[in-house]
Each structure stands twice: as C-alpha cells, then as structure tokens.
A and B are shown apart, each in its own frame.
Chain A
Amino acid sequence: AQSVTQPDIHITVSEGASLELRCNYSYGATPYLFWYVQSPGQGLQLLLKYFSGDTLVQGIKGFEAEFKRSQSSFNLRKPSVHWSDAAEYFCAVGRAGTASKLTFGTGTRLQVTL
C-alpha cells in the first residue's frame, strides 16, 4: 500500500525567507505526486504535480518541487515566502490506473512571521 509522510507538523518562517517542506512517499512503482494547499476554512488547491520526466516541477504561486527517486522524496520549495503563503500544505501520492484516489500526508502548517 502506498503511504505519504510529512515529518514537519508545523513550520514558522519569516517573510522573505526561503521555504522547504518535506514529503516522503512509499510506493513500489513510479508514483504520481502532488502538493495541495489549504487556506483556513477553504478547500484544497493544487499547487503542482509530477507524473514523469523532468524531476523539477514548477507550480503556481512561485512554488516548485523536486522528485528524488533515490530518497523517495518530493519536497516543496519556495525561494521567498510571502505572508499570504500561510496555510496548510498537503503532499499526496497517486498511481496510474486509479481514479480520484489519492493518499495524503498529514499536512504541514506554515506560519509566516512579518
């Protein structure tokens, strides 16, 4: 069975600082990987996705993520955080042949200090 681990429950960064949120997955074949963001009281919005090919993927709002097969990781990065990035971030894994079925991590809550 596939699983996702987000080891950091809560992270605080200063506005303008760089950000890296960690995500490790467990899956036997090449996974499909996703990062979603959830603002307070809102639904989940897709930030970026990885299916195959270039291991560095660009997403919306200036985010990027890198797939590292050797480390089973898909960490999310942003070079300069804005106060509006404060939210909860979820990493998720899916696979070919499944439909609308993702396995989510437990989430990382990002706090941004001014």
Chain B
Amino acid sequence: NAGVTQTPKFQVLKTGQSMTLQCAQDMNHEYMSWYRQDPGMGLRLIHYSVGAGITDQGEVPNGYNVSRSTTEDFPLRLLSAAPSQTSVYFCASSPTGLQGANVLTFGAGSRLTVL
C-alpha cells in the first residue's frame, strides 16, 4: 500500500510555463484535495474532488486547474506559472463517511519554484 503518491518531488519552472503535478492514491478513497503550504500561512485548500468527474474550488483556486477522470488520480495543472505559485504542494485523500471524510492522508509533497 503506497498511500498517496506525488510526482515530481521538486520542479523549477520559468514564468509562463505550464506543468502538471501528479497525485495518485491506492486506498480507494472517494475524496481528494490539493493544498499549498507557504511559510507562516499553514496549508490552504486549492481544489478538491468528491468523486470521479466531480471537482470544486477551494480557498485559493486561481491559476490552477484540476480534473478527476478516475478514483485513483487527481492531477493539478498550472496553466501559466507565476512566481506567486512558488510553494510546496500537498495532495490528500480521505474515505467517505461523515467523520472519515475529514481524516486526510497526505502525500510527501511537491516543491515548486517559479523563476
């Protein structure tokens, strides 16, 4: 059981480039989400998904796109990278249930630098 797997672990982009952060989970969790972590700001929710084909915006969605074609995968796309998107990105998943839906399992993170 690998849990939540994120790739790449590190990435450097130039302003205006696009890229996709990959996230896969093997726990058959229905819910998945993306957070960004910035110094002094904790983790903030970017996008989340309650199942295949269903996504919604979180607190800081601008500049990011997501899709959920399968239960296992939830990629995060940066369409035109900006220096403000320099951050550490975490993918998380959780099972269904009133309580279980809140118990997140996190990936190891992807550190992105935009020059």
Find chain A residues with CB under 8 A from B44 CB: 104
- Residues in B60-115 with C-beta less than 8 Å from chain A: 90, 92-94, 96, 98-99, 101-109
Report if A28 contacts B (CB, 8 A).
no
- Would B90 and A44 count as touching, CB distance under 8 A? yes
Which chain B positions have C-beta within 8 A of A63? none
Question: What size tier do the contact residues of chain A reach?
Answer: 20 to 34
Chain B contacts for A45, CB-based, 8 A: 106
Query: Do A98 and B106 contact each other (CB < 8 Å), given the known contacts A106-B40, A106-B42?
Result: no
Q: Taking the nearest CB of chain B, how far is it from the CB of A95, in angstroms?
A: 8
Chain A interface, >50% SS class: loop
Task: Tell me the minimal C-beta distance from A104 to chain B in angstroms.
Answer: 4
Contacts of B24 in A (CB 8 A): none
Q: How large is the interface on B (under 10, 10 to 19, 20 to 34, 35 or more residues)?
A: 20 to 34
Instruction: Mark out the residues of chain A between 93 and 114 whose CB falls within 8 Å of any chain B CB in the assembled complex.
Output: 94-107
Residue of A nearest to B107 (CB): A43
Contact digits for B8-48, partner A, Cβ 8 Å, 1 yes 0 no: 00000000000000000000001111010000111111001
* Cβ-defined contact, A99 with B50, below 8 A: yes
A residues bordering B, Cβ < 8 Å?
A: 4, 9, 32, 34, 36, 41-46, 49, 51, 90, 92, 94-107
16 A-B pairs within 8 Å (CB atoms) are namely A32-B99, A34-B102, A41-B109, A43-B4, A44-B106, A49-B103, A90-B43, A94-B101, A98-B102, A99-B31, A99-B50, A100-B102, A101-B58, A101-B102, A102-B102, A104-B43
